[in-house]
Amino acid sequence: MSAKTILITGASGGIGAALARCHARAGVTLLLWGRDEERLNQTATQCRALGADCIPCLFDIRDLDDMVARLSAQDDRTPIDLAIFNAGLGGSVSKDVIAETPQRSRATAEVNFVSPVMGANLMAGAMARRGHGQIVLVGSIAESYPLPMAPTYAATKAGLAMFAEALGIRMAKHKVRVTLVSPGFVDTAMSRGVPEAKPFLMTADAAAAIITRRIARGDRRIVVPWQFAVIRAATGLLPRALVRWVLGRA
């Protein structure tokens, strides 16, 4: 069954906005979440032009109780077939500072881990009761590496990857599919804030086209671009001490 009602968090920019455009067509209702009114409305206008109904919703997903209340009410009104938890906060810390601030690490953890995990658990229960649905969690290839330039970011994405795998096993008997997306470098506001080299950089539209196709196929694990799947498999064979040594000198 193709998804009729689709939630996309972080739809006001980058990968989320591109995913919204890829899913937009007649007969589809897009629930678009973000904070920046102008950019979120721009995504909605583009998706309406492609035939979709759009319900933009402006709020901060770090307000966790509000997020749960909105998601629950929205799902009661219009049952969600596909929930894409994509919103994220980048985490590269400059070499000039010794460590991340507690405030920044809290924000990163709330946006990248706590909010999507709470939202996905809520959706898992609701979809299981209906006997169908798909939950997509957007992680990062950073989930596989102890990145000294982004310790909290890497940790939130590693946690999200473990959560996606565990939830996927748990939901299998309820016919709820769980998909983890792990992008490499995608040209968005987030990656533009990263000073390091960005091998195999791809556009948000190109990444979203691949991700959308593979979500529809029901894949559990999506790495874009594919080169990062190869790199990850290869570095997985290396001694961890060597990986740490290389990253420490990067």
Ligand X SMILES: NC(=O)c1ccc[n+]([C@@H]2O[C@H](COP(=O)([O-])OP(=O)(O)OC[C@H]3O[C@@H](n4cnc5c(N)ncnc54)[C@H](OP(=O)(O)O)[C@@H]3O)[C@@H](O)[C@H]2O)c1
Of 8-16, 70-78, 171-179, 212-220, which part binds ligand X (CB under 6 A)? 8-16
Is residue 89 close enough to count as binding ligand X by CB under 6 A?
A: yes
**Residue pointed to by tokens 């229960």:** 125
DSSP summary character for residue 111: I
How far is Cα 70 from Cα 73, in angstroms, rounded to an integer? 5
Nearer to ligand X, 101 or 132 (CB): 101
Is residue 5 close enough to count as binding ligand X by CB under 6 A?
A: no
Among 183, 208, 214, 228, binds ligand X (CB under 6 A): 183
Nearer to ligand X, 134 or 145 (CB): 145
Q: How far is Cα of residue 231 from the mean position of the Cα atoms in its chain?
A: 21
Among 3, 6, 8, 10, binds ligand X (CB under 6 A): 10
Shortest distance, position 207 Cβ to ligand X, whole Å = 8
Residue 138: φ, ψ to 5°: -95, 110
Question: How far, in Å, are 81, 100, 114, 183 from residue 111 at the CA level?
Answer: 22, 16, 7, 17
Is residue 221 close enough to count as binding ligand X by CB under 6 A?
A: no
Is residue 62 close enough to count as binding ligand X by CB under 6 A?
A: yes
- Beta strands 53-58 and 176-183 are unpaired
Token reading at 63: 């307000």
Site residues (vs ligand X, CB under 6 A): 10, 12-16, 34-36, 39, 60-62, 86-89, 111, 138, 140, 183, 185-186, 188-191
